[in-house]
């Protein structure tokens, strides 16, 4: 049986079997990762998986789950950052009106 060596932040190097490891390969490569429950401390460990790590894990018998990241999640963002106060204002608006879209567009006074 294939033995996979990985490291846990608390326990150091640990040995795993392919069944112990979950591999998620993302269409946006930097978001690919593998995870496992540490056999020493039972902590869930998650680490990034570059192409080399993906190849090693797949060749070791770890099945890959493909994850397609939604395109809108990768769009560049402009404008001011949403603040906690913005979220509170939204929650208050949601509680006060059933027709939020016209209010947000400035067509109807709340």
Q: By the criterion CB under 5 A, which residues form the site for Zn ion?
A: 8, 10-11, 38, 40-41
Nearest distance in Å: CB 38, Zn ion: 3
DSSP sequence for 7-75: EETTTEEEEE-GGGEEEEEESSGGG-EEEEE-TTT--EEEEE--HHHHHHHHHTTPPEEEE---GGGGS
Residue 12 or 106 having the CB closest to Zn ion: 12
Nearer Cβ to Zn ion (10/65): 10
CB of 2 to Zn ion, least distance (A): 20
Q: Which of 30, 89, 31, 21 is nearest to 57 (CA)?
A: 21
Cβ at position 20, least distance to Zn ion in Å: 12
Estimate to the nearest angstrom the gap between the alpha carbon of 87 and the chain centroid: 22
Shortest Å distance, C-beta 55 to Zn ion: 25
């Amino acid at each position: 049986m294939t033995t996979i060596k990985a490291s846990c932040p608390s326990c150091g190097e640990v040995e795993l079997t392919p069944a112990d490891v979950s591999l998620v390969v993302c269409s946006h490569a930097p978001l690919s990762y593998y995870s496992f429950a540490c056999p020493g401390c039972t902590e869930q460990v998650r680490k990034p998986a570059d192409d080399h790590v993906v190849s090693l894990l797949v060749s070791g018998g770890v099945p890959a789950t493909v994850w397609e990241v939604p395109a809108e999640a990768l769009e560049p963002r402009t404008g001011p950052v949403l603040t906690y106060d913005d979220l509170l204002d939204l929650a208050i608006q949601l509680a006060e009106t059933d027709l939020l879209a016209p209010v947000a567009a400035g067509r109807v006074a709340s």
